[in-house]
Every structure is written in C-alpha cells, then in structure tokens.
Amino acid sequence: MGCLDMEYYLPIMAMVLIEFIYAGLGIGTRIVFLQGLSPRIFVVYRHAIATILLAPVAYFSGRNSGSYSLNLRSFSLLFLTSLIGITLNQNLFFEGIFLASASVASAMSNLVPAVTFVIAAFVGMEKVNIRSMRTIAKIVGTVICISGAVSIALLKGPKLLINAENITSKSIMARLSSNDENWLLGCLCLLGNCVAWSIWLILQVPAYASHPNYLSFTAWMCLMSTFQSTVVTLFVESDLNVWKINSLLQFGCILYAGIMGSAVTFYLQAWCISKRGPLFSAMFNPLFTLIVTVFAILLLHEEIYIGSLIGAIGVIIGLYTVLWGKAEDVAEVKEKTDPKLMIINETEEGNLFINESCEKTYYETVLEEPLLPA
C-alpha cells in the first residue's frame, strides 16, 4: 500500500518541484536583468553550463550503441529545432521578462497549447471537425487564450496592488513599469516565444524520430543552441564588456539556470511524462503562474493590473479547455485502435490498463504528443 501510494505521489511531487524551480528561475532572471545582465548573454551561459553537464552523461550512456552520433538528416533537424525551440524561443522569453514582468511572462506561457493546436491544424497534424465537441472545445479554448493574452498586453487598467518600495532599483522598475512601449514590446516578445515554442513541439516529432535517444537529443540541442546564441549575441551586442559577470548573484542565477533550470528539469519532466503523460505535466503549468505572481509581488514589488489579472485568468481557463478537448480526442482513438487493452481503472489524468495478451498491468496516459515544454 505504501509503495503504491509513493508511486502515485512521486510524479506529483516532481511536477510541483519543477514548477518551483521554474518560478525561481523567472524571479531570479528578472532581478539580474534589472542589475544589468543582458538576457542574450544569460541564454548563452545557461546552455553552455547545461551542455557541460549533459554531454558526458549522454556520451557514456550511448557510446556502445553509437546513438550519440548524427547523420546529415539528424543534424539538420536538430539544428533547426535548436534554432527555433531554444535560441529564438528563450531569447524572446527572457527579453519579454525584462521588458514586461515575470508575472506576465508566466501567464503568457499558458498560451502554448492553444498556439500549438492552431499551428498543428494549419499543417494538417490536427484534425478539425466543427461537429465534434472536442474540436469545438479546442477552438473555444484557443480563442479564450488569445483573448486573455490581448487583455494582458493592451488592457492594463488600474493597479490592483501599489508597492512603495523595491528590492532592486526603484527608479529602474518605475521607468520600466510605466513605459507602455516597453510593456507592449515585452508582451509581443512573449507571444513570439509561445509561437516559437509551439513550432518546437511540432518539430520534435521528426527530429526525435531521426535521433531517438533522449539524453543525446537534449545534449545536442543544448550544444547547438549555445553556438547559435553566441552568434546572435555577438551580432547584437557590440560591446564585449556585456560578457562580464558583475556580481555573485548573477553568477549564481546563471549556474542555477544551467543546472536546475535545464539539466534537472529536463530529466524530471521526461520522467513525469513517461509515468503519467504530457497532459498530467501540462495541468501543473498554472501553478508556475501562481507561484511567480505571488513572489513577484512579495520580492520584486511588481505592479499588478486588473487587465493583466483578468487576462491571466482567461488564459488559464482557455488552457484547460484546450487540454480537455485534446485529452478526450486521444482517449477515444486509443480505445478504438488497441483492442488488447482493457481498462480496469479510469482517472482524470489517464487510465490503468491490463494487457490481456501478456497479463501485464501498467499505466497509460491519455495523451501521446507533448503539449507543453519540458
């Protein structure tokens, strides 16, 4: 009984830990960016550290099978996946955190499933049947998500909370918060981040099929994104002094991002998805928004606006609507296509199956393709 309970609760505990790690990353990066660290430099250092950690593990775990090597097709797909999913995606994300706020960035991240559905439907990977409740749910959820994002960007409204002091520099925060142009540009960067992340999720299907080794796949992406981000930074940042790390806090944040924000979370996310499926992982994303918003108010004294709050709630409602539509869709397909599986226990996250051909019981999730980032 104890082992079964622990097996059930371990993925939940891991996902909560992941959301706290991401929340700490969002708050920490906001602080060091206000101290003067360039978001582009941060992206380079973060993935350089992640590469240093993951590359040896990937090499030694796959050297007997040769799975760490690449052919031309695998290299091309991984290069494109890294360019869009990490280099472009994270540069836009951290630029958005700097120009807007950590709480807005966390709220906008819930757009990813809706944007993924739109892109997948456009390229023919997602069937659209307007007579199906599942399709209607995905469409309605997408509209709600996008409307919420527009509300965050354009309808700031009156301040919900007014803070008298700031942890870093009051003048810097006041200038950034009151500048509507910076706010709108930051929201546009975060929207671009969601689009890039959604394309990355779709590109992972052919990329991983050409190089089916998770550790090696992740290590190669981190390595390629390190070089790509370096080229982008050298092109954008003409002053070489921006590469300097000026404080222990900046160094600690970069180290935390590389070790905890990339290497550890990548592993934990993959383990949770293998145990309970991507829908289970996606359901925890609003927890990240809640944690970041609370700590942004308490530690950074960020200003919260009525329009942003309403928009964030709308995005989260739209997220769960899209996830419901997708989960029901895949659950029906699985029941039709695998007659050897008999459901012996149904849950919200997935179903417990028994395979009649080998009498083996195991947990099967209700989604096959990831909807949210690792």
Cβ contact 113:322 at 8 Å: yes
Q: Residues of the chain with pLDDT > 70: what percent?
A: 74
* Helices and strands (H and E) in the chain: how many: 15, 5
The predicted model scores a pTM of 0.73
- The dihedral through the CA atoms of 147, 149, 152, 154 has a sign that is negative
> 26 pLDDT band (50/70/90 cuts)?
confident
The domain segmentation of the chain, as residue ranges, is 2-111+151-321
CB distance 283 to 367 below 8 Å:
no
342 has a pLDDT exceeding 70: no
- Buried b / exposed e over 322-352, threshold 16 CB at 10 Å, is bbbbbbbbbbeebeeeeeebeeeeeeebbbe
164-168, 240-244, 346-350 — which one is most confidently predicted on average?
240-244
Rounded average pLDDT over 48-59? 86
Q: Which two tokens stand for residue 371?
A: 């909807």
Starting at the edge strand found earlier in the chain, the sheet holding 360-365 runs 341-346, 350-355, 360-365
- Tokens coding 14: 């891991």
At 369, is the pLDDT very low, low, confident or very high (cuts 50, 70, 90)?
Answer: very low
Instruction: Tell me the CB-side half-sphere exposure of residue 324, using CA atoms within 13 A.
Output: 15
CA separation for the pair 112, 232 (Å, rounded): 24
Helix (H) or strand (E) holding 364: strand 360-365
SS3 369: coil
Token pair of 269 as six digits: 């996310």
pLDDT of the residue at 231: 93
- Is 66 exposed, middle or buried, given 0-12, 13-18 or 19+ CB atoms closer than 10 A? exposed
- The whole-number average pLDDT for the span 46-70 is 77
What is the torsional sign of CA 209, 213, 218, 220?
negative
Q: Does the pLDDT at position 128 exceed 80?
A: no
pLDDT, tens only, 228-246 = 999 999 988 878 888 888 8
User: Above 50 in pLDDT, residue 171?
Assistant: no
Q: Examine the pLDDT at 367 and tell me if it is beyond 60.
A: no
Q: Which amino acid is at 71?
A: N
